[in-house]
């Protein structure tokens, strides 16, 4: 007697805190019933079976850094599809289809463990701070197994590959595949089909856009140290990457190891990581040849050497690589004393993190021997929402005033005149839009896509392509970091973010320094392509029409 399942709907429960229940419709012979199960119930089932089938990835750690993952509907729909695929795989497996654990899981009369798991939470109810506290508490009891990663097809529902404006991008990174315990590559369920669609759509567009596979990520770097630690492991890892490049017709790979000789998201690491990374890159270059791309996502400072300090000479790495992508974002997250997410520089000399900005990163990497024309500057298309009554950027940088901002006064004056509303560009209160009230309180402690700021009504797009405050919010400008911010003191809401003005300033800086260009994290977070067009124009490339 065969059993079939579907997961067409979901519901939520409030205790012990708001969480999602997936409604599994089970049909076996003449019997049909509905079973409600949480995501963590699926994790328990997989642990009991020891099967090799893929579940949708865990999200608690990565959603504290990935804004779009906090969109409830998108995440839940993504999980529904993945959980259904997982159950289908089990039911099609002779080994698992009749297992007692699976039968109990599909039995409406069998209850599951009711202990709260943060992975079950309704996304918008779980703040960044709470998520981190819960994860840290869980790690105190047991090591978290498996990669906590954003799936490669994370934006397929919001931004299908066939609808991308390919003419605006030279390279599109597909994130992520991850190293695994076998020192090969793993893809999440459904990822490779999306990758094939992306490569096919890019070719069909005829704009010359190349697709590069990103490997790792914040939640997917657990096995990098192992995969590069020995000659045998490096060979397996390289061969797996070569296979992926050939199988999917890729232009190359991007190594997003966060980070060598550093724990990152709690990863195993070694003092030999940086040296092994160079050996791996050398082997990879030999294997794929000179025409394929090898890039890496990197922090503001070069990789940590065996002594725990940033490497002072990375020229040998540069010789093997096409370029590196400097992640100039997440410098300051949500806080009661908000700071800038992506500062251009320490322009007032008051930063408590003087090495964490675009200008410092350029200096630090070039001084270590990485050529300027092999550096890309990362630009965020998202911001952070803080529960705060502040009306200026603080903590990391000094509050803005015309006197304090002297080192940047001339440029700020021009930018304010262009990008702030009204006849009094220095008067930030004039930038408040009388509009239907917008609320961002549901985003406290989280990243928020720029497009969501617009759709929520906190920003409005003007006819000239600029954006101004709306919905009861006021827009301010921090001269010390060259970034805008929004605030609504009545709601105790403060948003540090980037807009066309601040992104253009960073793109202009990259161009002035002879950098290779800019990249964004991530394209689904744009307001259509308003930010992308501003970046292209500032970088000296007129935005083409949408393709």
Domain ranges of the chain: 3-141
pLDDT of residue 10: 86
- What's the Cα-to-Cα distance from 166 to each of 200, 202, 377, 425, 447, rounded to whole Å? 12, 7, 20, 36, 26
Q: What is the 3-state secondary structure (H, E, C) of 271-335?
A: CCHHHHHHHHHHHHHHHHCCCCEEEEEECCCCCECCCCCECCCCHHHHHHCCEEEECCCCCCCCC
The candidate with the shortest Cα–Cα distance to 332, out of 463, 119, 498, is 498
Compute, in degrees rounded to 10, the torsion defined by CA atoms 312, 255, 546, 65: -90
pTM: 0.68
3-state secondary structure at position 345: coil
User: Which stretches of the chain drop beneath a pLDDT of 70?
Assistant: 1, 14-17, 57-74, 112-116, 122-158, 394-435, 541-547
The set of residues, in sequence order, having a beta carbon less than 8 Å from that of 136 and lying 6+ positions away, is none
Q: Which of 103, 134, 106 is nearest to 121 (CA)?
A: 134
The alpha carbon of residue 113 and the mean position of all alpha carbons in its chain are separated, in whole angstroms, by 32
Give every CB contact of residue 350 below 8 A, 6+ residues apart in sequence.
397, 398, 404, 480
N- to C-terminal Cα separation, the chain: 51
DSSP 121: B
Q: How far apart are CA 472 and CA 488, in angstroms?
A: 6
Q: Would you report the helix, strand and coil content of the chain in percent, each value rounded to 5?
A: 35, 20, 45
Q: Which pLDDT belongs to residue 181?
A: 96
Q: Is 3.30.1520.10 the CATH number for 3-141? A: yes
Q: So what's the pLDDT on residue 199? A: 94
Please tell me the distance from the alpha carbon of residue 88 to that of residue 3, in angstroms, as a whole number. Answer: 10
The predicted structure's pLDDT at residue 71: 43
Cβ atoms of 62 and 74 within 8 Å: the answer is no
Question: What is the four-CA torsion angle of 132, 138, 140, 142, rounded to 10 degrees?
Answer: -140
Question: Within the chain, how many helices (H) and strands (E) appear?
Answer: 15, 18
């Amino acid at each position: 007697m065969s059993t079939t399942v579907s997961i067409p709907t979901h519901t939520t429960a409030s205790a012990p805190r708001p969480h999602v229940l997936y409604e599994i419709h089970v049909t076996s012979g003449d019997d049909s019933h509905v079973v409600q199960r949480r995501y963590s119930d699926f994790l328990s089932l997989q642990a009991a079976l020891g099967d090799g089938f893929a579940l949708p990835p865990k999200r608690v750690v990565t959603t504290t850094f990935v804004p779009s993952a906090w969109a409830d509907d998108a995440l839940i729909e993504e999980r529904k599809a993945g959980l259904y695929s997982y159950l289908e795989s089990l039911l099609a497996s002779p080994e698992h289809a009749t297992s007692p654990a699976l039968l109990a899981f599909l039995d409406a009369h069998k209850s599951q463990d009711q202990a709260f798991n943060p992975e079950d939470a309704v996304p918008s109810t779980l703040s960044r701070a709470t998520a981190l506290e819960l994860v840290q508490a869980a790690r105190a009891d047991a090591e978290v197994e498996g990669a906590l990663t954003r799936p490669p097809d994370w934006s397929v529902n919001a931004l299908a590959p066939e609808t991308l404006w390919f003419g605006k991008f030279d390279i599109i990174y597909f994130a992520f595949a991850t190293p695994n315990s076998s020192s090969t590559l793993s893809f999440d369920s459904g990822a490779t089909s999306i990758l094939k669609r992306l490569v096919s759509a890019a070719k069909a567009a005829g704009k010359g856009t190349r697709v590069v596979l990103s490997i790792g990520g914040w939640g997917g770097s657990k096995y990098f140290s192992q995969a590069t630690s020995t000659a045998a492991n490096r060979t397996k890892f390289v061969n797996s990457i070569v296979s992926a490049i050939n199988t999917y017709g890729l232009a190359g790979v991007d190594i997003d190891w966060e980070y060598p000789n550093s724990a990152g998201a709690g990863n195993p690491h070694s003092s030999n990581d940086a040296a092994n990374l160079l050996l791996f890159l050398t082997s990879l270059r030999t294997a794929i040849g000179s025409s394929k791309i090898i890039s890496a996502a990197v922090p503001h400072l070069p990789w940590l050497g065996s002594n725990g300090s940033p490497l002072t000479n990375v020229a040998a790495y540069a010789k093997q690589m096409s370029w590196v992508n400097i992640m100039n974002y997440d410098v300051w997250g949500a806080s009661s004393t908000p700071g800038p997410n992506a500062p251009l520089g320490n322009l007032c000399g008051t930063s408590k993190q003087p090495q964490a900005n675009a200008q410092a990163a350029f200096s630090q990497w070039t001084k270590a021997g990485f050529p300027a024309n092999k550096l890309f500057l990362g630009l965020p298309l998202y911001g952070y929402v803080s529960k705060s009554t502040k009306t200026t950027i603080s903590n990391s940088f000094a509050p803005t005033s015309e006197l304090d901002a002297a080192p940047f006064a001339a440029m700020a004056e021009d930018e304010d005149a262009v990008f702030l509303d009204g006849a009094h560009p220095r008067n930030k209160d004039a930038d408040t839009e009388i509009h239907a009230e917008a609320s961002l309180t549901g985003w406290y402690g989280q990243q928020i896509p720029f497009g969501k700021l617009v759709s929520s009504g906190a920003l409005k797009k003007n006819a000239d392509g600029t954006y101004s405050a709306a919905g009861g919010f006021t827009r301010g400008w921090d001269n010390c970091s060259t970034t805008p911010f929004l605030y609504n003191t009545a709601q105790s809401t403060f948003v540090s973010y980037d807009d066309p003005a601040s992104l253009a300033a960073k793109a202009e800086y990259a161009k002035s320094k002879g950098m290779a260009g800019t990249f964004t994290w991530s394209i689904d977070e744009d307001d259509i392509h308003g930010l992308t067009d501003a970046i292209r124009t500032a970088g000296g490339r007129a935005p083409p029409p949408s393709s």
